[in-house]
């Protein structure tokens, strides 16, 4: 139960990063209105999103994923995906908890350039809203 809540929180943080970059969420795990994404190959993914005609796959990595023996195979497989009809590259967004962020950066540096260009790495830490932004949001939300 607690692991599921943590996974849900990590997926929410990754979806926020998608939104920040202008992507629209097409499917996601633990979504209320959106369907769960289908497996890509034999790997389960967390989010599928699109920006205009460009698609992206989102994957959050937790303790179990970091210690998988086939982690690098999974990352390189997902990072080399292309769309079915237009043959465009599909970006891979990796969300990693702060404890493992540096370790994953080092592991990704061992991949080839063509694969590495297709991966965006995100630190899944909670962002603090500054008091300046908070006051602006409050004035917008409670205007009569």
* pLDDT score for 108: 87
Spatial separation of the C-alpha atoms in residues 76 and 79, rounded to whole Å = 5
pLDDT one-digit tens code per residue, 28-67: 888 778 877 888 888 888 899 988 888 899 998 888 888 8
Those residues with Cβ within 8 angstroms of residue 29's Cβ, 6 or more apart along the chain or in another chain: 7, 8, 11, 36, 37, 46, 47
Token representation of residue 96: 């990693």
All structural domains of the chain, each given as residue ranges with its CATH number in brackets, are: 2-141 (3.40.1350)
Check if the beta carbon of residue 94 is closer than 8 Å to that of residue 121: yes
Of 6-10, 77-81, 138-142, the range with the lowest mean pLDDT is 138-142
For helices 101-109 and 71-79, angle between their N-to-C axes, nearest 10 degrees: 70
pTM here is 0.78
Average pLDDT, the chain: 81
């Amino acid at each position: 139960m607690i692991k599921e809540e943590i996974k849900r929180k990590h997926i929410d943080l990754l979806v926020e990063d998608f939104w920040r970059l202008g992507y629209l969420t097409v499917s996601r795990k633990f979504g209320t209105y959106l369907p769960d994404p289908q497996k890509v190959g034999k790997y389960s993914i967390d989010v599928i999103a699109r920006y205009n005609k460009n698609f992206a796959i989102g994957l959050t990595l937790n303790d179990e994923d970091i210690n998988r023996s086939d982690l690098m195979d999974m990352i390189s497989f997902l990072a080399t995906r292309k769309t079915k009809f237009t043959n465009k590259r599909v970006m891979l967004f990796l969300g990693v908890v702060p404890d493992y962020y540096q370790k994953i950066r080092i592991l990704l540096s061992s991949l080839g350039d063509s694969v590495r260009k297709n991966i965006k790495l995100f630190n899944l830490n909670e962002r603090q809203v500054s008091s300046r932004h908070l006051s602006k949001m409050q004035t917008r939300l409670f205007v009569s």
